[in-house]
Amino acid sequence: MKNQQENIIEIKNLITSLGGAVIHKKLNLNVKKGEVLGIVGGSGSGKTTLLRAILSLLKPDSGSIRIFGKEITTASPKTLLEIQKRWGVLFQSNALFSSLTLLENVMFPLKEHTHLNEKSRRDLALLKIGLAGLSAEAAVKYPAELSGGMQKRGGLARAIVLDPELLFLDEPTAGLDPETAAGFDELILNLQSTMGLTIVMVTHDLDSLWKVTNRVAFLGDGVVLSVESMPELVKNKNPLIQEFFGGPRGRAAEEGYGHKH
C-alpha cells in the first residue's frame, strides 16, 4: 500500500450539479505525486466541471477535495491563495491577454505573486518562454500575431512561470494540427520530467492519452468508472468505455502506440 502523502489530490464522494442537473454522484479520484493523469469521458460526462471544482471555480454540493493535504472546499481565501500559487493552469482558450505581449503575459503572474524586480521577472519569463519551446522573437509579439500552437506554448510558459508542483491542462491539443499537437505532447513530457510536475490533463485527444499519461480516469454515469493505464483501459469491458475507444480513431491511436507499451 502506498502512503497517503503520495496523493497530491484526493477527491471523495464529490457531488456537483449545474442548473439543477446532477453532474457528479459521489465521485472519487486520487492523483499521485509525479504522475500524468488523463481525464476522459463522453460529452456531458463532467470532465470540465470536475476540473472547475478542483480549481475552486465551482463549489460542489458536497464531498471533499484535498490538494496538498488541505481541504479546499472549505478553505479560507488566504489558504486557497497559498495552494493556488503551487499550481499552474492552461485553459483551452489559452486565456492570454490580447493587449499584452507574450513576454508581458508570462510576466503577469510574477507581478501578482512575487516581489521580484522588473529585470528578474523579465529574465525568469524569458527562461520559461524558452522552456516552452519559443524564441525571444516570439516573446515580443502579441497573441494575435502568434499561431495557435505558439499561443498554446505561451499559455504553458505562463502556467509554469511560478514553478508549480501541479499543472492542469484543459484540452491542450484541441484545435492544433497533428504535427503541432505531437510537438506539444513532447513538450509536456519534457517539462514533466525536468520540473518534476504532477499533471492533470482533460483531453479527448487519443494520441495524447497514449503518449503522455501514466493513468487515465474515465468519467461516466456521474462517477469515475475506471482509473488505469491506457493499455488496460482500452480492454475494460464497460460498455461506455468500449464505445469511447472502439471506433476507428481509437483503433488507429492504439495501433500507433501499442508497440511502445
Domain residue ranges of the chain, discontinuous segments joined by +: 4-86+165-258, 96-163
Mean pLDDT of 157-177: 92
Q: Could you give the strand order of the β-sheet that contains 36-41, starting from the edge strand earlier in sequence?
A: 87-90, 166-170, 198-202, 36-41, 215-220, 223-228
Instruction: Give the C-alpha separation, 99 to 59, whole Å.
Output: 31
Answer whether residue 260 shows pLDDT above 60.
no
Answer whether residue 222 shows pLDDT above 80.
yes
**Contact 37/215 with Cβ under 8 angstroms?**
yes
> What's the whole-model pTM score?
0.91
CATH architecture of residue range(s) 4-86+165-258: 3-Layer(aba) Sandwich (3.40)
Tens-place pLDDT, residues 192-206:
988 899 999 999 899
**pLDDT at residue 50 in the model:** 95
**pLDDT at residue 261 in the model:** 41
Max intra-chain CA distance, the chain: 56
- Predicted confidence band of residue 96 (pLDDT cuts 50, 70, 90): confident
Residue 77's alpha-carbon distances to 11, 15, 84, in angstroms, are 20, 22, 10
Length of the chain: 261
